[in-house]
Amino acid sequence: MDVSTKTNEDHFLRRDKGASPEIQRLCQSKCKRYACDIQKCLERNSYQEKSCWKEIAYWDICCDKIKAKDGKSVALLRQRADRVSGNRNNKSMQ
């Protein structure tokens, strides 16, 4: 396993910790596009997660939607979406 794959998998394992195996599988299959975006970003930025905050946030939102459908609170999802859109707007103003 190369460094990029390990880094990517480490993030997903930390992110999904505590989720049921079914939810973990759903996140990994339904949110695959975001996983690919994270991988590309990590490769461009020498595997520094802090440089890929936006891509990671979109992965988190995607997984939170799946968890919300599984009976979890949607409030967290809305907070994350607001935070991501707010951060994106703040960066574009600079």
22-26, 41-45, 80-84, 89-93: lowest mean pLDDT where?
Answer: 89-93
Quote the percentage of the chain above a pLDDT of 90: 11
Sequence-distant (6+) residues with CB within 8 A of 4 are 39, 42, 43, 47
Show the domain range for 21.
Answer: 3-93
Name which of 64, 57, 65, 48 is nearest 83 in CA terms: 57
Per the structure, the count of domains in the chain is 1
For residues 6 and 48, the model is more confident at 48
Which of 10-19, 42-51, 64-73 shows the lowest per-residue confidence on average (mean pLDDT)? 10-19
Task: Work out the average pLDDT over 82-91.
Answer: 57
